[in-house]
Chain A
Amino acid sequence: MISPASTLTIALRALRANKMRSSLTMLGIIIGVAAVIAMLSIGAAARQRIADEINSMGSNLLIVFSGSTSSGGARMGTGTDPTISLEDVEAMLRECPSVLDAAPMHSGSAQIVYGNRNWSTGIIGTTASVLHINAWEMLHGRAFTPQDERYSAKVCLLGMTVADELFGAIDPVGRIVRIKHVPFRVLGVLKPKGQSMTGQDQDDVVYVPITTAQRKLFGGTLPGMVRFVMVKATGLHALDQAEQEIVALLRHRHRIGPGQTDDFTVRNLTQMMQIAITLANIMTILLGAIASISLLVGGIGIMNIMLVSVTERTREIGIRIAVGAKTWDIRLQFIMEAMTLSLIGGLIGIVLGQAGSIGLCMAAGLPVHVSAAGIALSFGFSAAVGIFFGYYPAHKASLLNPIDALRYE
């Protein structure tokens, strides 16, 4: 029996004898493996990103929207008037034991002006609770106080993007900006939060006290009402309990009789994230499957070339069999050749796929993800492709009749 090292030597020599053909065959595997690696690691990065976001938001969040839901689960159109009042929010904090904190949210958009600079951005009326609930921190200055909220103080907090656009290198704290011609004093700047999952800039925003937003900026809608409330439960296990308490409280306060539909909607953020993760997984599987097809095509390329090679080298095979090569000696020689093609192709593909996915993730602002398991899997998979697609040609070679093979022109 011939040694594996000798078999490898023979395989490498045979592949070197046909450099162009070997490289082109490898290219199929390279593309296939690179595509699989890239798709898997981008998918993993997206999933990681979603998981990070869940963790950063705190997983025990609920959002209570004004208005009922349509059957698909989406919120009703914007025409609906807000149904949740600030008093409702205060009642939640007071009467629902599973609610740790709640921040009313009322948003709109407006131009914000400082000196000769202006910037269109989202304005969110809320309370300082939003910072606690989301674990957001101030970069400069301070947050609102209950006094600011009670007296509708004309103060605001800037997101990093807005601060940069309006002030550049100047320290914004204490300066006066104008929102809808109303002067506001900048209390502070929030620490940058980066892009959201949907690619939105979460720092392109201005926060003002909820009462200020209602009275001074977006007075058009019903006074004292908010579009949604961000609620933090006392713990992950208290989420369902908190939801029940809120539903009961609001139904009571809004005098909704049995059988009538709610005029609000409670959403569990974790559930929403789970849906996002499931979607990301499905995307990963789908893209991975498409990429696997190119790997399959690469494998078929190997099989094709090996079949050609076996035919071309019929005489060589005949000589080897005549001087004593056994069935497995020949079979291993050709399997080794196919495997060498697929493994070298696989290694190059892994490097390219990983480099490509790192580039793509960085461009898309996703966390860079190098999956050792994915690399090991692709390596194993390319070896398997070599064995699987090399076996038939190798088998064919090993069963050649030496007399016919020696006579082959």
Chain B
Amino acid sequence: MTAPVDATSHLINLRTVSKEYAMGDNRIRALDDVSLTIARGEFVSVMGPSGSGKSTLMNIIGCLDTPSAGSYRLDGQDVGRLGRDELARIRNRTIGFVFQGFNLLARTSALENVALPLLYSGSRAEERYSRAREALATVGLADREHHHPNQLSGGQQQRVTIARAIVNQAPVILADEPTGNLDSATGIEIMNLFVRLNREAGITVIVVTHEREIAQYGRRLIKFRDGRIVSDAELAP
């Protein structure tokens, strides 16, 4: 049932990763002994009921959080040993996030929003804006660069987020319920954009969803329940 992996090209490698949260006297085990490898260029869908630990998994893969136990290697590097700023650097260079709630800066143009990661990698202004324009063109929003988030539709906002995720040429896009706030037609547009980025740019895409139709866009499906992987299989194209 496990997906075929090429040991040399493991981009993401989790070994017996657990994550516990303390809730008063209780301890919640959001991730329970999860082992998982994802190779460069994969398109993985993660499905599971609410509270099953999908977001927790994404946060750990995205270096926003660190495991309570187990090890996580990203591109050969042991992430568990890294400090706050080193994790920030990895998020900046390696990970592109797409959130359900978009998470764009308000009162800030699409262009500035897309250029944000480049600001923190120290690029000069001209380079930031030329690359942000390219990224906006890739997601089909070349004509909206001066619009603020509240002047854009949900689908357009999500495409701005995707442009922000690819602007620094990060090899991984992590999308946590990217279509959750969108109507189904717009959701399909967004998923097609991921498919295109995965096929044409070779970007590794991991999408969390609880909708079967959305999960179908991936080529590998991981099912989650109670912090554990219950199935992991290739999907027919």
Q: Are B91 and A324 in contact (CB under 8 A)?
A: yes
Q: Mark A82-101, 1 if CB is under 8 A from B, else 0.
A: 00000000000000000000
Q: Are B59 and A325 in contact (CB under 8 A)?
A: no
A237 to chain B, nearest CB (A): 67
Bound CA span A320–B104, Å:
10
What residues of B have a CB within 8 angstroms of the CB of A319 in the complex? 103-105, 116
A1 to chain B, nearest CB (A): 5
B99 within 8 A of A: yes
B28 within 8 A of A: no
A245 within 8 A of B: no
In the complex with contacts A1-B122, A3-B122, A315-B103, A322-B91 CB distance below 8 A? yes
In the complex with contacts A402-B64, A403-B65, A326-B120 CB distance below 8 A? yes
A321 within 8 A of B: yes
Bound CA span A2–B122, Å:
5
B25 within 8 A of A: no
B209 within 8 A of A: no
Instruction: Tell me the chain B residues, 37-58 only, with Cβ under 8 Å from chain A.
Output: none
Of B82-90, B135-143, B184-192, B223-231, the stretch lying at the interface with chain A is B82-90
Q: Are B88 and A321 in contact (CB under 8 A)?
A: yes
Instruction: Tell me the chain A residues, 1-53 only, with Cβ under 8 Å from chain B.
Output: 1-3, 6, 17
What residues of A have a CB within 8 angstroms of the CB of B64 in the complex? 322, 402-403
Q: How many residues of B contact A (CB 8 A)?
A: 27
B220 within 8 A of A: no
Q: Are A2 and B103 in contact (CB under 8 A)?
A: no
Q: Are B105 and A316 in contact (CB under 8 A)?
A: yes
B75 to chain A, nearest CB (A): 16
Contact of A327 among B65, B85, B107 (CB under 8 A): B85
Classify the secondary structure of A's interface with B. Answer: helix
Q: Are B103 and A320 in contact (CB under 8 A)?
A: no
Q: Are B119 and A2 in contact (CB under 8 A)?
A: yes
A318 within 8 A of B: yes
Q: Are A406 and B103 in contact (CB under 8 A)?
A: yes
B58 to chain A, nearest CB (A): 10
Bound CA span A321–B97, Å:
12
How many interface residues does chain A have, given as a range? 20 to 34
Bound CA span A321–B107, Å:
18
A329 within 8 A of B: yes
In the complex with contacts A322-B64, A322-B97, A2-B120 CB distance below 8 A? yes
Please, which residue of chain B has its CB at the minimum distance from the CB of A399? B84
Please, which residue of chain B has its CB at the minimum distance from the CB of A16? B107
Q: Are B122 and A324 in contact (CB under 8 A)?
A: no
What residues of A have a CB within 8 angstroms of the CB of B62 in the complex? 322
Q: Are A323 and B99 in contact (CB under 8 A)?
A: no
What residues of B have a CB within 8 angstroms of the CB of A318 in the complex? 103
Q: Mark B91-113, 1 if CB is under 8 A from A, else 0.
A: 11100010100011111000000
B117 within 8 A of A: yes
Q: Are B59 and A323 in contact (CB under 8 A)?
A: no
B159 within 8 A of A: no
Bound CA span A321–B121, Å:
12
| Centre residue among A3, A6, A324, A326 by max chain B CB count within 10 A | A324
Contact of B59 among A320, A321, A403 (CB under 8 A): A403
B164 within 8 A of A: yes
Please, which residue of chain B has its CB at the minimum distance from the CB of A319? B103
A selection of 10 A-B contacts at a CB cut-off of 8 Å is: A6-B119, A17-B107, A319-B103, A320-B116, A320-B120, A321-B88, A322-B103, A324-B91, A324-B168, A326-B120
Interface residues of A (CB under 8 A from B): 1-3, 6, 17, 315-316, 318-329, 402-403, 406
Beyond A322-B97, A326-B88: 20 further Cβ-contacts under 8 Å?
A2-B122, A316-B105, A319-B103, A319-B104, A319-B116, A320-B116, A320-B120, A322-B91, A322-B103, A323-B164, A324-B92, A324-B93, A324-B117, A324-B121, A324-B168, A326-B120, A327-B88, A402-B64, A403-B65, A406-B103
Interface residues of B (CB under 8 A from A): 59, 62, 64-65, 84-85, 88-89, 91-93, 97, 99, 103-107, 116-117, 119-122, 125, 164, 168
